[in-house]
Amino acid sequence: MTTTLPVTGDRFKPYDVVVGRGLLAELGTRVAPLVRGRTVIITDETVALLHGPAALASLQAGGVRARLLTVPPGENSKSFAELERVIDRLLDFGLDRRDLVIALGGGVVGDLAGLAAALYMRGIDVVQVPTTLLAQVDSSVGGKTAIDTPRGKNLVGAFHQPRLVVADIDLLATLPERQIRSGWAEVLKHGLICDAAFFDWLAGEGAVGSLGDPAALTRAVVRSVEIKSAIVGEDEKEAGRRALLNLGHTFGHAIEAELGFDEDALTHGEAVALGCALAFRYSAAINLCATADADRVSAVLAAAGLPTRLDQAGALSAVGLLARMAGDKKAEGGRLTLILARAIGDALVDKAVDRDAVLDFLRSEGAA
């Protein structure tokens, strides 16, 4: 069964997110109506070996001329140097404004290829074909593209909506278990933001999705895309409600940056899980939500094999983490912005967070 979910908004051209099984074989048929010239698949070296030949064969069968451009796997590819190299290769290939980029990979490839497409000749079309759970439920939808800098994660980027997103659940079967769990953190986050019933299902019957069950994964991806697309349609450029999608990310991004974006130490999804646990515990510490809700969130995350305590990420400095959080792109006028919660399924944006209170909280959580 294939589900097609429209993403619509006042400020961008509508597009579809297609979720189902066996969709990579249909890529050429689905992309052909969007192609006016040539196509370049941007992918990483690992995904190129796993799925590159099938993607090229599908495009060829659909009458689409395509070639492959690979980047090294891992967060380090989200850099100025790799962005420059990708754009230079697109120029070598002679792409023009009629042409199309396909991002075949996880969040790193989606962000890098999306930003390259946004910048190339002031913008060419991009199709997202996410190959990780995290990318299928989050980064491939909504048009956020970015690279990292030594000062923090995703600080240089652009909003560039895709023309189409093709989420093939079968591609998730090639993922290591740790990557499934990492993506599951973003799924749980969607329930925590605005759908307590979804969170209940994820914590109960749907928990098999964190172990790779295809039916549960399909339902989780579809509902996550429904939640995210509704929010993006209201607020494309994060002027208001879209900030809720960053639950756990301000803490999580700070931790990732302090660790030097070392994915062996902590994946992005693991950082988000830890950030969600911290956001709920901080909300409880300031009497915004019940301690029982914060405890339940940590228990569900831990049951999915995700970190919930700072000491699971290593030795961290409270002052260093706070400095990273102050440099987060959501901070305004030197004030911290955090996504907090009144309850499971009821998140809010707090743009006037007390820095000293956060510093004390981080120390109480074990940061030095």
**Among the three residues 147, 174, 201, which one is the final residue of a domain in this structure?**
174
> Number of H helices and number of E strands within the chain?
13, 11
Token pair of 202, please? 């994820």
pLDDT at 333: 63
Catalytic residue check, 228: yes
**Among the three residues 149, 174, 199, which one is the final residue of a domain in this structure?**
174
Question: Do 162 and 182 sit in the same domain of this protein?
Answer: no
Token pair of 159, please? 């909003």
Question: Do 193 and 167 sit in the same domain of this protein?
Answer: no
Mean pLDDT of the 291-297 span? 98
Question: Do 94 and 239 sit in the same domain of this protein?
Answer: no
Catalytic residue check, 190: no
Which candidate in 78, 219, 268, 324 is catalytic?
Answer: 268
Q: Which domain holds residue 155?
A: 3-174
Question: Do 116 and 202 sit in the same domain of this protein?
Answer: no
Strand 39-44 with 100-105, pairing: parallel
Question: Do 228 and 202 sit in the same domain of this protein?
Answer: yes
Mean pLDDT of the 50-60 span? 97
**What are residue 33's phi and psi, to 5 degrees?**
-65, -15
Specify the pTM.
0.93
Catalytic residue check, 51: no
Please report how many Cα atoms fall inside a 13 Å half-sphere around the Cα of residue 42, on the Cβ side: 32
Catalytic residue check, 351: no
CATH code, 261: 1.20.1090.10
Q: Three-state secondary structure along 44-72? A: EHHHHHHHHHHHHHHHHHCCCCEEEEEEC
Catalytic residue check, 122: yes
251-288 pLDDT, tens digit per residue, is 999 999 999 988 889 999 999 999 999 999 999 999 99
Which candidate in 153, 163, 249, 324 is catalytic?
Answer: 249
Question: Do 146 and 47 sit in the same domain of this protein?
Answer: yes
Catalytic residue check, 154: no
12-25 pLDDT, tens digit per residue, is 999 999 999 999 99
**DSSP assignments along 221-279, one per residue:** HHHHHHHHHHHHHH-TTSSSGGGGGGTTHHHHHHHHHHTTS-TTT--HHHHHHHHHHHH
Region for residue 339 given its phi and psi (left: phi exceeds 0; alpha: psi -120 to 50; beta: otherwise): beta
Which candidate in 153, 190, 236, 246 is catalytic?
Answer: 246
CATH code, 144: 3.40.50.1970
Question: Do 260 and 166 sit in the same domain of this protein?
Answer: no
pLDDT at 334: 64
Catalytic residue check, 355: no
Question: Do 161 and 272 sit in the same domain of this protein?
Answer: no
**Among the three residues 126, 154, 174, which one is the final residue of a domain in this structure?**
174
172-225 pLDDT, tens digit per residue, is 999 999 999 999 999 999 999 999 999 999 999 999 999 999 999 999 999 999
99-142 pLDDT, tens digit per residue, is 999 999 999 999 999 999 999 999 999 999 999 999 999 999 99
DSSP conformational letter for 317: -
Catalytic residue check, 65: no
Which candidate in 51, 75, 78, 144 is catalytic?
Answer: 144
318-352 pLDDT, tens digit per residue, is 999 999 998 776 666 667 899 999 999 999 999 88
Which residue from 94, 19, 23 is spatially nearest to 62, judged by alpha carbons?
23
Question: Do 279 and 328 sit in the same domain of this protein?
Answer: yes
| Number of domains into which the chain is organized | 2
Residue 10 has pLDDT above 70, yes or no: yes
Q: How far apart are the first and last CA of the chain?
A: 51
Question: Do 248 and 305 sit in the same domain of this protein?
Answer: yes
Mean pLDDT of the 154-177 span? 96
Question: Do 224 and 150 sit in the same domain of this protein?
Answer: no
